[in-house]
Every structure is written in structure tokens, then in C-alpha cells.
Structure 1
Amino acid sequence: MDYCCEEENVPHVLAVDDNLIDRKLVEKLLKNSSCKVTTAENGMRALEYLGNNGPKVNMIITDYCMPGMTGYELLQKIKESSILKEVPVVIMSSENIPTRINECLEMGAQTFMLKPLKLSDVKNLRRQLAK
């Protein structure tokens, strides 16, 4: 079931993951939770999208382990940007490494979620977006 993306109250989420299957899963879960979704296959593409278009995104959800630029490095760049620093960033990873989780939260991540994401995880995120 796909929702119309033109509504003003539909949150726009940028989903970043180098794994196509994971990216599609996150996209489907977000769309099922009434979000507009734009996807990027890596951190550089995500930054290009954020820098070029200026369509306001309400949240960025990114994988931690990606080639070229990790999710942590993407988080750093977003938090260093005067334009983007207020956008909530969610980090996801298949590895439950407490030091990594703490580093991301200290850098300013909204939350850290373990993959594979479940519908309940996305519903919690959706509630946060509604605040």
C-alpha cells in the first residue's frame, strides 16, 4: 500500500544503505508508516542529495557500515553543518557493539537501531517524527 506523498504532514525520510535489500526493506517499512522516502546507496550520495535539492527531510536513517563513508562519518558531517545539524539522524547496524552505539549517540544520533528493522521500530520512529 503506497500513500500519496504530496500531503504536507507526511514526514520525508532519507534512507541511506549500501545494501539494496536493506534499503528496500527500510523504504517499505517507512512507506507503510506513511512516510515519504528518498533512498541513497552511500553517504556521499546522501550528502549530494541534501546539498543539491534542499527538499526538507525530517529524518535521516543510515546504515553504520558502508564503504567510502561510514554512517558515523555521515552523522559527523550532518552535525557539523549549520543547515543540516537539526535534522534527526538514526543509525542502524547489524552489529550490537556498545562502544559504537555510544559514539553515535554522543555525536548526536537520535537513536541507534539493530538491523533488520522491524515495523515496530519504524512505528516508534514515526511517533518521534510526529512530535
Structure 2
Amino acid sequence: MEDSGSSSSKVKEVIVHEEKPHVLVVDDCSTTRLLNQVMFKTYSCKVTTAENGLKALEFLGLLDASPNLIQVPKVNMIITDYEMPGINGYELLKKIKESSSLKNVPVLIASSAFDRDLIKKCLEAGAQMCLRKPLKLPDVEKLIPLMQ
């Protein structure tokens, strides 16, 4: 009697894992970082957080004197607070846009207080858009297509 479920007659199932969109959230407020992390994870995103611009540059491999020797992490979007001590969001944006490996990654500037001149300055420097803080779940939903 032959077993119809023998290993020679089984079809192997191949599972393809799609890579999750990866967002870097940079903010000096731990509550804001956590809130953004939870909201992006709701949409199945991988989230990395940094508490300041310097940590973000370090994560992105932009602090090393010879960045060609290190592997730059794949990031699909960067959301940074504008007002941070040390390297602010605008300075971080400029450094990212100067990088040949990261210049095409959408960078969004978030702030609780925006004026037209600040928005214009950020957009001219290469920001994808400027957002009012705090982000809400409908805001995050609208951002997901930017990471595709």
C-alpha cells in the first residue's frame, strides 16, 4: 500500500516574505517617538527611533569619515522633529540630502509650530513635506504610500 502523503510526492511550499517599509523617527521627546512608533507599527512598518540628529546620522552611517566602507541601513522614510538640541531637523535634512545613498529617501519635517518661511526653507532643502505635531493615525495612513 502506497502512502499518498509520502515525502517524494509532497509539493514544497515557498513563502515569500515582503520586506516591511522601514521608517526612522527622530525626535528628542520620548513620548513622541513612542507614539509614532506605535502608529507606524499599526501599518506593519519597521520603526527605528533616534533621540537626536547626531544619533540619526550615526544610524544612517553619515558620521563615519569613510561612509563607503559601511553598510547603510535601508530606510524608506525619515520623519524628524524640527526643533531639537544639537543638530536640528533642518540640519539633519541637509546632511541626508547631501548623501548619495540617501538623497532619494523622503524626509518629512515635523513641528508643533510652523511659519511659512520655515516651511519654505525646509521644502527648498529637499523635505518631502512638513507636518504638524503630533501626528495622528490618519496622517500616518496617508504617509504609507510614500514608502512604496
What is the TM-score when the length of structure 2 is the normalising length? 0.80
Aligned residues: 124
Q: Distance in 2 between matches of 1:67 and 1:60?
A: 18
Q: Distance in 1 between matches of 2:81 and 2:43?
A: 19
Q: Distance in 1 between matches of 2:82 and 2:71?
A: 24
Is residue 61 from structure 1 mapped to residue 94 from structure 2 by the alignment?
no
Q: 2:142 aligns with which of 112, 120, 124?
A: 124
**Aligned CA-pair RMSD:** 1.2
Q: 2:98 aligns with which of 74, 80, 84?
A: 80
What does 1:1-131 correspond to in 2, within 5 Å? Answer: 7-51=17-61, 54-130=72-148
Deviations 1:55-102 (A, max 9, x none): 200111100000001000000000111111111101100002111111
Output the amino acid matched with 2:126. G
Query: What corresponds to 2:5 in structure 1?
Result: none
Name the one with the larger helix percent. Answer: 1
Structure 1: which 5+ residue stretches go unaligned?
A: 1-6
Q: Please give the secondary structure, in 2, of the residue aligned with 1:73.
A: helix
Retained in 1: the 8 A contact 2:106–2:146? no
Q: Please give the secondary structure, in 2, of the residue aligned with 1:13.
A: strand
Query: What corresponds to 1:4 in structure 2?
Result: none
Q: Please give the secondary structure, in 1, of the residue aligned with 2:108.
A: strand
**CA deviation after TM superposition for structure 1 residue 17, in Å:** 0.2
Output the amino acid matched with 1:37. V
Structure 2: which 5+ residue stretches go unaligned?
A: 1-16, 62-69
Aligned-pair identity (%): 59
Retained in 1: the 8 A contact 2:107–2:128? yes
Query: What corresponds to 2:8 in structure 1?
Result: none
